[in-house]
Amino acid sequence: MGTHIAAQADLIVDARCAVGESPVWVAAEQALYWVDILASKLHRWDAASGAVRHWLAPEMMGCVAPRKEGGWIAGMESGVFQLTLDPNTTSVKSERLAVVQHVTTTMRFNDGRCDRQGRFRAGTMFFDTNAARPVGAFYGYEKNGGLTLLLDGLIVSNGLAFSPDGRIMYVSDSHISVQKIWAFDYDIASGTPYNRRLFVDMNPYPGRPDGAAVDADGCYWICGNDSGQIHRFTPQGKLDRSLTVPVKKPSMCAFGGAGLDTLFVASIRPDDIDLSDQPLAGGVFALRPGVCGLPEPMYAD
């Protein structure tokens, strides 16, 4: 087992998100964005002023990535969208770029981001995770407007991240019946993963493998949902250290801050939560993990 690090987790926004996910640090704005999936909201926190605002999307957003040309690309319920945020209101101009052919109804995109070359990649899931239906898939969005199936048979697609050189891709299935993280070789020319192998079996460790980030050393940080911990694994799959947050369901982490030395963590606030036990659930936290991250890749048209 790795070392437990007593890094202070500071609450930056008491957001009370039902399902806070997909934190993204935008360096040009010195601001953190994240989604509340069930509320169809995209939130923004300004690091200098502490000001918080949000925008409402037409569908649930599972994941977002900034576009080099401005605005956002998002994996939502019915497909991949381009979003333009109104600076003066909570309105969003949305354009669906690609329709996803789910294998059944009541599905949506979940975890996703851009690879190091700026290509959008994201996975899907069935709404009711208790059904444990392995109908989730992992797609690559192509600039001609299509979606390419890259992986199927997932229950809850999660944990997407890329090594610093972009040649290793990580994906997890966070369902309680699976709890595994896989590594793939990644063809950076075509954006295709291959040579799938088990990276970490999370069953012996605290928490289910939710959202992830990779640091400048190439180590993989994964939120241990249900455990209140964030784990750092080396590129060899060895647990290096664990950090604690004051909520049980950290959902995804992202490096940010002026020096990319802050680890931001989004979290979940379930309906049946015991608020006396974790009143800050659904909040967004900031920790100093002792390492630096990498700039989040932007979608390149």
- Phi, psi of 47, rounded to the nearest 5 degrees: -65, -35
Rounded CA-CA distance 136/152 in Å is 6
Q: Is 210 a catalytic residue?
A: yes
- Answer whether 263's CB lies under 8 Å from 243's CB: yes
Tokens 């241990």 — which residue? Answer: 224
| Catalytic-labelled residue, pool 115, 173, 210, 215 | 210
Q: H or E segment at 266?
A: strand 262-267
If you write DSSP's letter for every residue of 61-99 in order, what string do you get? -SEEEEBTTSSEEEE-SSEEEEEEE-SSSS-EEEEEEEE
Task: Give phi and psi for 173, each to the nearest 5.
Answer: -120, 110
- Identify the three-state secondary structure at position 131: helix
Q: Known catalytic residues?
A: 210
